[in-house]
Structure 1
């Protein structure tokens, strides 16, 4: 097993969620959310985002996984101290759900590592007490 130097390879991921009422339709059990992601390279190596893995769980515990290359059609490289931002979306069949996952990164020295995406909540305003 290879030990990855946490200080050398470190991507911090933060997410802000936005409910999109104009695209949602409660009568048809369709709730739409945008999520705005910021990846900050707090490591010592330039790193390129190769793939993503999302785990999306709705309010009834139905889970689906999404795997794919890059994000929004890009595989950005992030220099030490730099950041990358993008916006994407999710559609749920319930008013509340969660997402978490990871990005698979490639450092300029050839080391592959994961950048964890901490769990965050998707919720219609006032749906949670």
Structure 2
């Protein structure tokens, strides 16, 4: 698990290769990632936007951004967390992602950026 804390918001990431949704013969590799966003601050925060940078080992780079995560803009109270699972497809069996969340402090409506640490997506057979 990869973790990083920015301004009191802790991001933890786990990845899972999904062979049942992958088709290596057609250069299609599917990965799921589970993200836990934990609020270590004394105030409630809301996740407003996401911004991803996706890197494939064939040299392809993609950028994805949009409102919220999996259709939600969750409010996370002090000491609480929000967890979700999403996915990413690659053309190769090795890649990585990193990015940021735009968060809002509900106490003063100030927005701030939380870093999503870079994490690898590697098909397990590449590790042998």
Point out 4+ residue stretches in structure 1 off by more than 4 angstroms: none
Gaps of 5+ in 1: 1-5
Q: Which has the higher strand share?
A: 2
For the Cα contact (< 8 Å) 1:18–1:33, is it kept in 2? Answer: yes
For the Cα contact (< 8 Å) 1:60–1:94, is it kept in 2? Answer: yes
Which residue of the other structure, out of 45, 49, 52, is the alignment partner of 1:51?
Answer: 49
- 1:76 maps to 2:66: no
- 1:85 maps to 2:83: yes
Gaps of 5+ in 2: none
What is the RMSD of the two structures over their aligned residues, measured on CA atoms?
Answer: 1.5
- State the alpha-carbon separation in 2 of the partners of residues 83 and 45 from structure 1: 13
- State the alpha-carbon separation in 1 of the partners of residues 48 and 62 from structure 2: 21
Shift of 1:56: 0.2
Shift of 1:61: 2.2
- 1:16 maps to 2:29: no
